[in-house]
Structure 1
Amino acid sequence: MTNYNFFSTPSLPRPAVTEHDATAVARDLFHVTGQLTELGSQQDRNFLIDDGDTRWLLKFSNPEFSAQELEAQDAAAERVSLAGIDVPRSVPSHEGAAIRIVHVGDVDLHVRLLSFVEGDALTGRGALTVAEARSLGHTAGRLAASLEAFVHPGTERITQWNLRIATQVVQMYLPHVPDPGRRERVRVAAARAQAVLEPLSDKLRSQPIHGDITDDNVVTRHGSPLGVIDLGVIDFGDIADSWVVAELAVTCASILHHNPRTPLMILETIAAFVTHTPLTDDELAALWGLIVLRTCVLVVSGEQQVAVDDANHYASENRDHEWIAFEVAEGLDAQQMCALIRARVRLDRHSVIERPEGLLLPAASLSVLDFSVTNPELSDGIWLRPDSEAVLAAAVVRTSGTAVTRYGEYRLTRAKLHHTGETATLALGVEVVTAPGTVFSAPVDGVVRVEDDALVLEASGYEIWLVGLEPLAPGHVSAGQRIGAARAGTARSEAPVHVRVQLSRLAGIRPAFFATPAEAEIWQRVCPDPSPLLGIDLAAPEPLSADVLERRISTFAEVQEHYYTEPPEIERGWREHLIDVHAQCYLDLVNNVALTGHAHPRLVKAVSNQWSLLNTNSRFNYSALPRFTERLVALAPEGLDTVFLVNSGSEAVDLALRLAKTYTGNDAVLAFQEAYHGWTVGADAVSSSIGDNPRALETRPDWVHVIDAPHPFRGTHRGADSAARYLDDLEARLGVLDDAGTGLAAFIGEPVFGNAGGVLLPDGYLAGVFEKVRSRGGLTISDEVQVGYGRLGEYFWGVEQQGVTPDIITIAKGMGNGQPVGAVITRRDIAEKFAEEGSLFSSAGGSPVSCVVGLTVLDILRDEGLQENARTVGGDLKAKLLTLQGQHDIIGAVHGLGLYLGVELVRDLATLEPASAEASEICEELLREGCIVQPTGDYKNVLKIKPPLNITTESVDFFVEALDRVLSARSRR
């Protein structure tokens, strides 16, 4: 049989092989049995076989492919394996042959048993990270290098995936695209790409290539970090003689649907590839056209495959992201992409221009402006004003004359709230802010041309772009010669003028003036620092995000964990938003500490004023302390009239336990399973969450008695009416303690399970617990650190939801809005009994600053109606999350009340198997959507949602839409 030729057989429906057929073949020919699962394939039939110890891939090849082609695939895989890349390798049948012929469904098919390459496919990811994009490039480059000298007659084949015939494939399959508009767009895009390739095709090197190093065909190792360089390759079905550069084009095209908003990510893939397989200038020039052609082939092939094999769900499901890749490629400027590809490979990252012969402003004295994330002048949300840059610049110009911005600065003034994907905040040039009519001179010899609103000075090896000048006559100029004057604005002729100054190495192509963080690497190669043109260092300090993380790890105990695999460096906050050093904004949905929002002006002013007056310890006498404690007592449930001030929730819980033990003279404490109360010795003792401590249930001290958590969703008893059954169980447990003569000191619990994601207790449960505990002489402690202080909306205290009053309340977190402020509120007789053991002192607990913070938080909470906002906006958010639950099976429940909510993710709605890994991945994906969310609970499968209480409906909608997008994308994989 001859090798496959696309032009002879353009349609390749998968062979008709059932799971029954596959099971028999595996057993009879290879002596392999186990659980069998069909895997997706465009043109073959693949089955995973798992016997519990080993996994194999049983592959039935399309009948149009010859044995010689399959032998080439196996030989290439062996060669690539020697290069250190993990690949599937043929397992001989019991008769010794690796390739066998079987008769299935009236057709003779070649079948092979292959080793299974373990790992997670990148196709299941959302947006790829830079590390993952580079890994794909490294893998493709290494593989191309390993096949450079490979020779086998089985690679002499013509498949539809060979980009040498891409135009013909598009022409043949184009009628299968049902939409006429799409059909025409594909035709035009393919024709334009082919026109670029036409003069280059004879200059492109050829060899056998894998032809499919894509997100579908590589896996990361289990337990390996994301983006490991040594990826596994899982299929060799497309190996054929083709252009070397086509290997890279295929890989780049597969990234576009993952990163449609950051398509320049492929430049990192290209840079990684050429470290193993260098490309010629002609190959670099052809690369973008080949990428476009690959996307054209993908969409027409997908439509054709579904037309001839409508049961091929793999091909059908791939169509959505194939069209996304095409639309991204089609929408980019081809000339610019070709120039950027060449620049990424050929230009140095820190390239600078030589010192010019003159300066743009020879006699000017320049004051440098700061629009960075950490500039204190941009406080109180000023940076959100559209005219913020002009206002700050005008103030400097009035006092200092001409001002200039910094190059390579991530400008806070360009940040955007509620923005999906990255915002272009990196300045690729500088702006000179000066008086109208200020004269600019040529710093070098060159040629001036005018393009729209820009004056361009063509120099040797680069261009100088100047926007905002009234140009003089175009043509040749000498260094020092006047080339234009600052153009007055139309509104106020005396207002300062902003003149943009930018260097570019893209001849004849206008560069962007701002870039996203993902594009920074390439654009700073293309647009180097223009400081030499102005005779002053204008380079902004580079953000040291990676360095900060490394320094943190080197000196900060790692047990104090951080969020995210690749955490952004957050240096600013505003209301319910956080801003990183690249001026990217994130909606903060986890910061219950920041009750009133980040950087609240009223709080900032109050704390600053108090620091300027006094900060000391509570043994001194000052008015802020009684004013604060009076406010707390006024808010407390009736009967709780005495306050202890401490530094944290952990201290508050620890103190509450001591109060109870001292008052009752007993040691035994009842605490919920799955609870978290803090990190001090006492608070940790009553914490049993295995999500925080996997050995928690094994290591509780003898005086702690862990009781069943009354979890209505996944507990021992389920449903809103389960309180009585839980109370019966508790009574039996208490009977055992009674029989042993164990005296009860206290019960401690959150009135709403915060650590489980805001799970509400069954109605009446706490009333029953309190009655049972008090009848045995014990006290009741309500840990309100997470769920109290107005967060529930309907109630100020969590216990109010259960209609009970505890003996002791512990609070912290939000009451200080980030300042270490905690408190215990109890009865006078309990406090006085504790005093018999001596005095209590907390160095910073109740300090003047802490008290002023606490008072101001309460003022803001009252004056801005934040509890009511928690009720209304939180209620709206929960309703929208419940709507999502009806649309996505992965959402098992929506817990909580007000602005303490939890979205519980499950793999099966019947078994409630926790979707722990999925929750972690979804949080990573939401970060890329601009939302900060983290998992909680014993299984880390609940998305905890507890934002600042001033969150807006607009922010809620932004989050819900982002979550819907992430879950929808996952369901399509």
Structure 2
Amino acid sequence: MSVSSLHKYNTSEAEFLFQEFYGLETIATALPSERDQNFRVSTVDGKSYVLKLYAPETDFNWLDAQDKLLKELAKRAPDLPLPRMLTNNKGAVTRKISDPKGDVRFVRALTWREGEVWSKAAEKQDLDFTQIGHLMGRMDVALKSFIHNGAKRSFLWDVAQASAHRAFVHMIEDEQTRNIVMNILNLFEEETSSKLSRLPNQVIHNDANDYNILVDEDGIISGLIDFGDFIESHKICELAVACAYAMLGQSDPIGKACDVVSGYHAENPLSEEEIALLYDLIRVRLAESICMAAQQHAADPENEYLLISQKDVRGLLSCMEKINSKVVHYRFRDVCGLEACKGSRKLVQWLSAHADEIGPIVQHDLSPDNVLVLDLSPISVNDEGIPRSAEDATNVIFKMMEEAGAAVGVGSYLEDRDVYKGDFFETVDPDEKRTVHLGIDLFLAAYEPLHAPLDGIVRVHNDNTRDYDYGPVVILEHKTDDGQVFYTKYGHLSRTSLELWEDGKEFKKGDVIGFLGPYPENGNWAPHVHFQLLLDLMDMKNDVCGVAARSEINVWASVCPSPNLILGMKTKCQGDVVRTSKNIRSERARHLSPNLSLSYKDPLKITRAERQYLYTDQGERYLDMVNNVCHVGHCHPRVVAAAAEQMPVLNTNTRYLHDNVVNYARELLSTFPDPLEVCFFVNSGSEANDLALRLSRNYTNSEDMLIVDHAYHGNLTSLIDLSPYKFNRKGGKGCPDHVKICPMPDGYRGPIKGDDPQCGSKYADMAIEQLRALEKEGRKPAAFIAESLLGCGGQIVLPQGYLAKVYDAVREAGGLCIADEVQVGFGRVGSHMWGFELQNVVPDIVTLGKPIGNGHPLGAVITTRAVADAFFNGMEYFNTFGGNPVSCAIGLEVLQVLRDERLQNNAARVGAHMMNSLKEMAGRHSLIGEVRGRGLFIGVELVRDAQSLEPATVEANRVVNLMKDRGILLSTDGPLDNVVKIKPPVCFSMESADEFLCAFDSCMGLVGEKP
């Protein structure tokens, strides 16, 4: 039956049907479709549904399969953003009717999914394509065991049935497109189909196109619709379909496909065989789309819906003809966490193990004092920024070598260069060129001989005569002991070298294989050899890439390991790969633990810093108000100089005598009151707290600890047990038996308010109750540990008298008192060097970290002679890096900078100004519940209601992101994540404080008050 002969339901008829079958009055709007008819129907109370009227002759068994498929998904993956079926007034989900022409039709309704179709949303915002892969991967996992004979059908939209489209190829009017499609179908029949038949089968959605995926205003997928194309096929076909549509209209189509593949693999791992076929299957799906549009449009030329996306499809297929399929395959392997080029690590290991068997390729000594590593990009232009001629560049390079006394100039591997000219350095992405060098250049005089480093045969030779190409180039094939094939490439040679080469010619190690070419026969370059190591010629022969695009660097670095494995230069001759923020996030996700979080909705790529400022890769400046590590200022020149002066001289351990360790210990201990006189050096605050725990347990012969609620003392196993901030939150295992939790002395949110004169004493009594509970169990404390001001607790200043009373009780019970100064020490509180001094107490042990080294990994434990001597029980305490000369030089300089630049006083002055201004601001913004802190340790707690203290968590996080948009970095903390924490470097200026205050006032106004 032709489409034109069907009865076309209008909106009024659709409204009538919906009321009759579902009992709801609605307003209907027609939706685009091919053969069936779809309507959006909306009720007066704002709910919407999709009414589907299937074309006559629709197979009921197929509809039943779709019903059960949706039920299966609702059962196994209820959180997926999918439509759900409505039950009609007959208790079924599908109903049979006769239309006005007497044709049998099936009717069903589904819930409506809000959102904008992906294709339209992508025009307005930068969407995350990995979420397509995540969605489809999770769906396929849920459908893995679903079986229904209605899903086994002949269907032209099934990638696995692509051969059927040969009947439509002649309908494609454009000759170029027709030829591309025919080649794709030929390859499918000859190779792909048989390989596909061996891959896993299951029911798939089969139509994750850019009109079936919906996204919300934040760019998050809110729905996947239209299950009409579901079929039992191969799992990999699901991904091929999703990738094909994701690539449409994209300047970097392969990059988008990689995103989808990465997301899918994370949810539903792919086999190597599936990955190997994926790119061909994507092309098959696009070819099918063109064939379907051609034959359907021929049958129904009035239906413009049939031509949606066809321009993009043809353009994409044409673009893909220019893309190396091996590169794509290797990119897919890479994003799936596999070795991009299989065997790369194996070859690297073989070359490393057989280094003594490799010969030199040039006659010159390549020792560090005889080579000059060049930065070639600046050489490409003169002082006026005008591109140099090759002759001029040659003169500059060889003059630099002469001045350095170097016989050989070296151009580095993976160096990102801006010197390449010619359209053959362009890519399909107009925003990207091939710029990353895959070989090592050796600059020598023209006609210098080159030698084979290993036995090999000539596999490729040619004279690439294009400007800025290789000129004469030869590639030798080699084999490892177990038969692994690899290649070495030599470019920019002389034409006299051509007579040495013929296909398959054998060269022995040490044989002359060619000569360096002069300008211009070497491709218009300064005389040098481009030397490259390869595992795969990528079907490119003499045009195999010697320079890669940044987006493909993972692939090419795997295909082309460092040539220095053969050259053996003891000189750094490898560039640092610079990645985009998006690429770094992807690499983090694949190679680092997901426990490592990122700040802000749109994370920043920070590349340099100075004082209280951070700078992004784009040169944007941010005022850093959250970093309590770079205490005296980012990259303080005196601290940097102290490290730079000591590093080249000596860095060893404390088993040798050295001035730095005792000089630093004396100066650090001079800031503490008696009897704190012994110092242990470690590498972090976590190590310091772990050692403090050992010291206290050794001294008291007890294991039990008293801690403060919501505290965090470090990431070691022993310290997670002391950190309710960790063990009482997601992923934690609750409070251990050897730990008692004292209530947090919060004078704002706690049961005892800060205006109570006995606040500190009463909270201390609550802590002492935990001590008594311990004693009733016949146990005594090893120690009470508390931050001197509570950081993760919400920037809380302890009420007066709290520590003194608790310390007295703990010591009376036989325990020690530990002050955790990891966050608040070194003058941050302004009035004192150490936070515990605010409470007029002296701990038995003090732990230091974070600011102690201004970003260098350093920590310390300060304790009494009695505690230290008790620890000297015959078991040596040794820390490999703690107290090394470099760390001590840095720590000493931090102390002296604090003193010389009067930064403790600065923290007091600037902090007081900020506190006063924020408290004044609280009178104008009712969201500000309390401003608290000392010096440059400040917290602003946001609440929605001053009476109930309902936390304004969402608002606090919004303020932080709004401030980031204004170039100021903050974060939130506290048990309810509603405290804006302010902990800038202590060099923070009044000008910066005023900049912050103005912006914060503005952002608080934007967030608004609770009505």
Q: TM-score, normalised by structure 1?
A: 0.51
Q: 1:644-655 alignment to 2 at 5 Å?
A: 644-648=678-682, 649=685
CA distance in 2, matches of 1:899, 1:468: 61
Cα deviation digits, residues 201-221 of structure 1 (max 9, x gap): 8769899984424699899xx
Residues 472 and 497, structure 2, Cα contact 8 Å, conserved in 1: no
Q: How far did 1:675 drift?
A: 0.7
CA distance in 2, matches of 1:76, 1:438: 73
Pair 1:111 & 2:89 matched: no
Residues 789 and 795, structure 2, Cα contact 8 Å, conserved in 1: yes
Pair 1:520 & 2:554 matched: yes
818 and 9 in structure 1: CA distance in 2 versus 1, 3 angstrom threshold: farther
Residues 61 and 150, structure 2, Cα contact 8 Å, conserved in 1: no
Per the alignment, in what secondary structure is the counterpart of residue 465 of structure 2?
strand
Q: 1:725-740 alignment to 2 at 5 Å?
A: 731-734=761-764
Which residue number corresponds to residue 246 of structure 2?
A: 254
Residues 200 and 282, structure 1, Cα contact 8 Å, conserved in 2: no
Per the alignment, in what secondary structure is the counterpart of residue 707 of structure 1?
coil
CA distance in 2, matches of 1:635, 1:523: 52
CA distance in 2, matches of 1:470, 1:14: 81
Pair 1:237 & 2:228 matched: yes
Which residue number corresponds to residue 100 of structure 1?
A: 95
Q: Which runs of 5+ in 1 are unaligned?
A: 27-39, 48-56, 157-161, 172-189, 220-231, 296-304, 309-318, 353-360, 371-376, 415-421, 544-557, 566-572, 578-582, 826-830, 879-889, 927-931, 958-973
User: What code does the residue aligned with 2:323 have?
Assistant: M
Which residue number corresponds to residue 606 of structure 1?
A: 646
Q: 1:112-191 alignment to 2 at 5 Å?
A: 126=128, 128=130, 150-151=152-153
Over the aligned positions, Cα root-mean-square deviation in angstroms equals: 8.5
Matched residue count: 758
Q: 1:818-897 alignment to 2 at 5 Å?
A: 819=857, 821-824=859-862, 831=864, 843=878, 851-859=888-896
Residues 249 and 294, structure 1, Cα contact 8 Å, conserved in 2: no
Which residue number corresponds to residue 35 of structure 1?
A: none
CA distance in 2, matches of 1:279, 1:542: 33
Q: How far did 1:72 drift?
A: 2.7
Cα deviation digits, residues 860-909 of structure 1 (max 9, x gap): 6678999899999999999xxxxxxxxxxx99999999998999999999
Q: How far did 1:811 drift?
A: 1.7
User: What code does the residue aligned with 2:255 have?
Assistant: T
861 and 263 in structure 1: CA distance in 2 versus 1, 3 angstrom threshold: farther
CA distance in 1, matches of 2:185, 2:415: 47
CA distance in 1, matches of 2:58, 2:744: 67
More displaced, 429-438 or 502-511?
Answer: 502-511
Q: 1:460-859 alignment to 2 at 5 Å?
A: 478=502, 485-487=517-519, 497=528, 499=530, 505-506=539-540, 511=545, 513-516=547-550, 520-521=554-555, 563=596, 600=640, 602-603=642-643, 605-606=645-646, 609=649, 611=651, 615-616=654-655, 624=660, 627-633=663-669, 635=671, 642-648=676-682, 649=685, 671-678=707-714, 687-691=723-727, 698-699=735-736, 701=738, 705-710=742-747, 715-716=749-750, 723-724=754-755, 731-734=761-764, 749-756=786-793, 759-761=794-796, 765-767=798-800, 769=802, 782-789=819-826, 797=833, 799=835, 806-808=841-843, 809-816=846-853, 819=857, 821-824=859-862, 831=864, 843=878, 851-859=888-896
489 and 478 in structure 1: CA distance in 2 versus 1, 3 angstrom threshold: closer
CA distance in 1, matches of 2:460, 2:698: 87
652 and 343 in structure 1: CA distance in 2 versus 1, 3 angstrom threshold: closer
Which residue number corresponds to residue 356 of structure 1?
A: none
Q: How far did 1:241 drift?
A: 13
Pair 1:435 & 2:444 matched: yes
Q: How far did 1:822 drift?
A: 0.7
Which residue number corresponds to residue 448 of structure 1?
A: 463
Per the alignment, in what secondary structure is the counterpart of residue 451 of structure 1?
coil
610 and 864 in structure 1: CA distance in 2 versus 1, 3 angstrom threshold: farther
Per the alignment, in what secondary structure is the counterpart of residue 723 of structure 1?
coil
Cα deviation digits, residues 294-325 of structure 1 (max 9, x gap): 99xxxxxxxxx9x99xxxxxxxxxx9xx99x9
CA distance in 2, matches of 1:863, 1:73: 81
Q: How far did 1:393 drift?
A: 14
Q: How far did 1:454 drift?
A: 0.8
Cα deviation digits, residues 543-584 of structure 1 (max 9, x gap): 9xxxxxxxxxxxxxx9x996379xxxxxxx99779xxxxx9x
CA distance in 2, matches of 1:839, 1:797: 29
Per the alignment, in what secondary structure is the counterpart of residue 627 of structure 1?
helix
Q: How far did 1:513 drift?
A: 1.2
Residues 827 and 903, structure 2, Cα contact 8 Å, conserved in 1: yes
CA distance in 2, matches of 1:483, 1:68: 73
Q: 1:323-342 alignment to 2 at 5 Å?
A: 333-337=319-323, 339-340=325-326
User: What code does the residue aligned with 1:807 have?
Assistant: V
> How much identity, in percent, do the aligned residues show?
18
Per the alignment, in what secondary structure is the counterpart of residue 689 of structure 1?
helix
Higher gyration radius (CA): 2
CA distance in 2, matches of 1:950, 1:203: 70
Q: 1:35-434 alignment to 2 at 5 Å?
A: 60-63=50-53, 68=58, 72=62, 74-75=64-65, 97-100=92-95, 110-111=107-108, 126=128, 128=130, 150-151=152-153, 197=180, 210-213=205-208, 236-239=227-230, 248-254=240-246, 262-263=255-256, 265=258, 275=273, 333-337=319-323, 339-340=325-326, 349-350=342-343, 364-365=362-363, 401-402=407-408, 429-434=438-443
487 and 752 in structure 1: CA distance in 2 versus 1, 3 angstrom threshold: farther
Q: How far did 1:785 drift?
A: 0.8
User: What code does the residue aligned with 1:236 have?
Assistant: F
Residues 397 and 496, structure 1, Cα contact 8 Å, conserved in 2: no
514 and 137 in structure 1: CA distance in 2 versus 1, 3 angstrom threshold: farther
Which residue number corresponds to residue 921 of structure 2?
A: none
CA distance in 1, matches of 2:253, 2:977: 30
Residues 467 and 499, structure 1, Cα contact 8 Å, conserved in 2: yes
Residues 438 and 546, structure 2, Cα contact 8 Å, conserved in 1: no
Q: Which has the higher contact order (CA 8 A, sep 6+)?
A: 1
505 and 700 in structure 1: CA distance in 2 versus 1, 3 angstrom threshold: same
241 and 133 in structure 1: CA distance in 2 versus 1, 3 angstrom threshold: closer
Q: How far did 1:632 drift?
A: 2.5
Residues 367 and 403, structure 1, Cα contact 8 Å, conserved in 2: no
Per the alignment, in what secondary structure is the counterpart of residue 824 of structure 1?
strand
Q: TM-score, normalised by structure 2?
A: 0.50
509 and 739 in structure 1: CA distance in 2 versus 1, 3 angstrom threshold: closer
Per the alignment, in what secondary structure is the counterpart of residue 668 of structure 2?
helix
Which residue number corresponds to residue 999 of structure 2?
A: none
CA distance in 2, matches of 1:857, 1:86: 57
Cα deviation digits, residues 443-491 of structure 1 (max 9, x gap): 567542422311366989999997766878999975789787144999x
Per the alignment, in what secondary structure is the counterpart of residue 322 of structure 2?
helix
CA distance in 1, matches of 2:546, 2:856: 40
254 and 843 in structure 1: CA distance in 2 versus 1, 3 angstrom threshold: same
509 and 747 in structure 1: CA distance in 2 versus 1, 3 angstrom threshold: same
CA distance in 2, matches of 1:517, 1:847: 41
CA distance in 2, matches of 1:364, 1:44: 75
